[in-house]
Amino acid sequence: MAGKVSSDGNIISRALRTSIRFLGEVRIELTKVAWPTKDEIVASTWVVVGAVAVAAVWIYIADKFSSVMMSLLIGLFS
Give residue 6's pLDDT. Answer: 57
Residues 57 and 44 in one domain: yes
Query: In the predicted model, what is the mean pLDDT of residues 10-22?
Result: 93
Between CA 71 and CA 78, with CA 74 as vertex, the angle to 5 degrees is 140
Residues 65 and 48 in one domain: yes
Residues 20 and 3 in one domain: yes
What is the distance of C-alpha 45 from the center of its chain? 15
Q: Is the pLDDT of residue 20 over 90?
A: yes
52 vs 78, which has greater pLDDT? 52
The total number of structural domains that make up the chain = 2
Residues 43 and 72 in one domain: yes
- For the stretch 21-59, pLDDT in tens is 999 999 999 999 999 999 999 999 999 999 999 999 999
Within 8 A by CB and 6+ apart from 6, the residues are: 14
- State the Cα–Cα distance between residues 33 and 7, nearest whole angstrom: 37
Percent of the chain with pLDDT over 90: 78
Domain that holds residue 66: 35-78
- State the Cα–Cα distance between residues 23 and 29, nearest whole angstrom: 10
User: Which amino acid would we find at residue 34?
Assistant: A
